[in-house]
Chains A and B, each alone.
Chain A
Amino acid sequence: MGHAPFSLPKGRLEEGFEDKRPRYSDGEAVTEANRCIYCVDAPCINACPTSIDIPTFIHKIATGNVKGAARTIFDANLLGQSCARVCPVEVLCVGDCVYNHWGREPIQIGRLQRYATERALELDRDLIKKNKRATKSGKKVACIGSGPASLAAAGYLSLMGHEAVVFEKRAVPGGLNTTGIAPYKMDAQGSVDELNWILELGDIEVRTGVEITASDDGDGQVSAATLLQDFDAVFVGIGLGADSALELPDEAGAGVYGAVELIEQLKLDPQASLQGVTRAVVVGGGNTAIDIAHELAILGVPEVYMAYRRGFERLSAYDHEIEWGRTDGVRVRVNAVPTGYQRNPDGSLKGIVLADAEDGKAKAGTDKLMECQLVAVAIGQARLTGLAKVFAGVELDAKGRIVVDDATCRTGHAQVFAGGDCVNGGKEVVNAVEHGKRAARAMDAMFSK
């Protein structure tokens, strides 16, 4: 069931983005690799959610064994290419490198991983496919959603001799890796290229424009019951729902966007434009907030503010992302809480009303209009609780996250596994990949019983 590679429309804004951390040349990679002291029981491995054997792959780069380096990475993380670029390495592997405590520059693990994976696949695109299990099991798994969790599950299942069908509601596959990554880290093409490479492993089909429903099997729909009947197991990797809104008067209308929605538009819609925007305000203090703020600044919006209702110490965005954004012009306003919007007579956005805040709450009488042409609301995303619940036995916790067994990612339904943002409430790509890998291994064990 091979299919033509997926592609993206041309003329997207992000195509003009400079690669902020370009791939190492061979010489640069070997030099950096030789700085690594090849620790044993290395903290970088423990810091990696997919437990990549980092010192080993770096040692292999140092010896010129770049294909071996890539095998080490892909064994632990099939999406090693995109993780090399989108992982917050500063708080994961690089942040735990022994050099940090020693007062030396930590090893640039993300950049080495990018070099190893990209270079090795240039040398041999079928590198991983060659190790695919020869015997086919005849088992079929449905993966709901086509983000990193589902792709990792489908890819590892394929390598273990099983079949996977990936159902994607949108026209473009790849989930947040395609629609939601700050373009200065990786553009959507990078995500689609990686997805196409995973599809080449074989026995994976992606069906876009298909919605999973509780009971309807209409056009473009497949019901949960049908999935359970037609497939030996189901992996739920549906991510999160729509951006949460501030629920303030005049919010609906031109100029006010959910952050994830706006990032997607800027990445994928060739018609997207920021013309006329001289000031933008991003509401929120998390990593999605700094991502969109940083992106708007790079795209040339003269003034970009992040407005956060609490103090600096409570910002949940990573420090390194805030610092990076600031160097590109992002300004951060803390203890500022939105209390309303103002619109011009023609309905266009005039600005957002911000009040001074104490402990996150607006202080009476401090409302002030901040004129702007664009507001991005980055205060979280809804949970897709309805979709999760279509499978009997699947339970949700109080925060709407699907409850799974940690080691296997199995839900309360023996046939149904889940992973990624819908399980952890919204973490990194690498966390989703780990879930997909665990689920695939658990399904493989189940199938071979």
Chain B
Amino acid sequence: MADLTIDFCGIKSPNPFWLASAPPANSGKQVQRAFEAGWGGAVWKTLGNPIVNVSSRFGALDYGSTRVMGFNNIELITDRPLEVNLKEMAETKKLYPKHTLVASLMVETKEEWKEIIKKVEDVGSDAIELNFGCPHGMCERGMGSAVGQEPKVLKEITGWVKDFASIPVIVKLTPNVGDIVEPALAGVYGGADSLSLINTIKSIIGVDLDNFVPYPNVGNASSNGGYCGPAVKPIALHFLGQIARHTHINVPISGIGGISNWRDAAEFIALGSTSVQVCTAVMHHGYRIVEDMIEGLSDYLDSQGMSSVMELVGKAVPQYKDWGDLDLNHHTVAEIDEDKCIGCQLCYVACMDGAHQCIHIPGRSKEESFKAGHEYMPDHVPDRPVTAKGGTPGARIPFVHEAECVGCNLCSLVCPVPDCISMVEKRRGPDPETWNDRIRKGTDFVPGGLDATKRAHPKMSG
């Protein structure tokens, strides 16, 4: 069985699964129950000067029959007295010395930073996470994402903290920026030992159309909140990849954003995270989900022949490239498995209206096909009845006109039958060639565009 322990800035954690700084890590009892369930670490709900919260605070985005695909909150940092949190942190660390306990902090002045760092170090915190990400409420007071969006300020405060702290410092980044690399570099240049991302995304989760108040309703008004949950995972992965591949960013990263199961976690780790933080999935299903995460990740590592989760860290980073470095000669075409197709024609309509009109319904005359919207016809459209188990009687298997297929994946994405449509490689040329290669060779010109562009292109105008 693969070793799940991680080394994060010198901190040994029993596994990479940490609770994110959020309601599930609000109190000692909660964090202790989480550790009992199997969580390897917890980032305590952000400490600072206590605040006042509103009611209600959360909103969710459902999709079809899936509840809480996205989640939004306007809750602020901890509303409990600092001393209470500190006492419970000390108790927790004493009971679970091998688990990772991170103090998330958010204060304003240099003096405040100095005082609070001393306090959290005294209770045995393993690391400090700087909450430069909260995009609601706190940012209106010049904290949270207001700091994360100003690289200069971020760097300066990180510097203060580094001066005061003797334990590792993690800078938590906000995704509410144009280029994540700027604040990430500012953190690193400020001395951060680690980065964590993403905090929540500024959002309005929806609008109540009966009373015209956005959600969540607070006395017939609402405010923008922080968006998280499974829906934000792709956004988080992008930001993670951006900083993981940056040559000047070589600190461990704690990945956050929609992680709900072992597979999500493995993806974040492969794209450069050493630890992963989870909130929404726990708020939805409870601490118990960690059992599947530990077991699933361990089995996955075994299946990959990896003896430690540390071997997985960053495995996918080299394969994350700029568009200009992708091979233009790589080409795929869709192939429909005759034994699986149930004849629903969803691939046909998606291709007709959303792609390149290369999927044909058998049994039509040429005229009917042109009328339906095809511009190019194959010589022959084979008429194959659906024979798959569970198929629609009398339905026909759609036909992919290979010469017209651009290999976009759309049909395979909308097909409801697992593994029915696969994308088969049909290379355009034996050797790879990228757009950046063409720029270097001066062949980066595609005919059919603007005259002004053509005149300006060195090869074409010369």
Contact = CB atoms under 8 A, between A and B. Distances in A.
Contacts of B262: 63, 65
A25 B296 contact: no
Contact of A25 (B292, B299, B418): B418
Interface in B414-457: 417-419
Interface in B278-303: 285-286, 288-289, 291-292, 295-296, 299
Contact of A64 (B286, B296, B417, B419): B296
A27 B389 CA distance: 14
A68 B299 contact: yes
A26 B420 CA distance: 13
A56 B417 contact: no
Interface string B397-424: 0000000000000000000011100000
Contacts of A65: 261-262, 292, 295-296, 299
B459 interface: no
Contacts of B33: none
Contacts, number: 40
Interface in A1-55: 25-27, 30, 34, 38, 40
B263 interface: yes
Given A38-B285, A56-B288, A56-B291, A63 B296 contact: yes
Contacts of A71: 295
Contact of B418 (A26, A40, A59, A68): A26
A56 B286 contact: no
A354 B286 CA distance: 61
Contacts of A25: 418
A310 interface: no
Nearest to B303: A123
Nearest to B390: A28
Given A63-B261, A63-B262, A64-B263, A56 B299 contact: no
Nearest to A62: B261
16 contacts: A26-B418, A27-B417, A27-B419, A56-B288, A56-B291, A56-B292, A59-B289, A60-B296, A63-B261, A63-B292, A65-B295, A65-B299, A67-B295, A67-B299, A68-B292, A68-B295
Nearest first, the 10 closest Cβ-Cβ pairs linking A and B are: A27-B418, A65-B296, A63-B261, A68-B295, A60-B292, A67-B299, A65-B292, A63-B292, A38-B285, A68-B296
Contacts of A68: 291-292, 295-296, 299
Interface of A: 25-27, 30, 34, 38, 40, 56, 59-60, 63-65, 67-68, 71
Nearest to A28: B418
A27 B261 CA distance: 18
Interface residues of B, number: 16
A30 B289 CA distance: 17
A124 to B, nearest CB: 9
Given A26-B418, A64-B263, A59 B292 contact: yes
B286 A40 contact: yes
Give the residue among B286, B296, B417, B419 with the most A Cβ atoms within 10 A: B296
Contacts of B295: 60, 65, 67-68, 71
A71 B299 CA distance: 12
A30 B295 CA distance: 18
A63 B288 contact: no
A56 B295 CA distance: 12
Contacts of A64: 261, 263, 296
Contacts of B296: 60, 63-65, 68
Nearest to B264: A63
A171 B263 CA distance: 47
B347 to A, nearest CB: 16
A25 B292 CA distance: 21
Contacts of B292: 56, 59-60, 63, 65, 68
Contacts of B263: 63-64
A30 B261 CA distance: 14
Given A60-B295, A68-B295, A68-B299, 14 more contacts: A25-B418, A56-B288, A56-B292, A59-B285, A59-B292, A60-B296, A63-B261, A63-B262, A64-B263, A65-B261, A65-B296, A68-B291, A68-B296, A71-B295
A71 B295 CA distance: 10
A67 to B, nearest CB: 5
Interface string B226-268: 0000000000000000000000000000000000011100000
A27 B408 CA distance: 23
A66 to B, nearest CB: 9
Interface string B316-333: 000000000000000000
Give the residue among A30, A34, A63 with the most B Cβ atoms within 10 A: A63
A115 to B, nearest CB: 13
A258 B289 CA distance: 50
Nearest to A25: B418
A26 B296 CA distance: 16
Interface string B29-43: 000000000000000
A380 B343 CA distance: 51
A131 B179 CA distance: 48
Contacts of B288: 56
Nearest to B261: A63
Contacts of A38: 285
Contacts of B418: 25-27, 30
A68 B263 CA distance: 13
Contacts of B286: 40
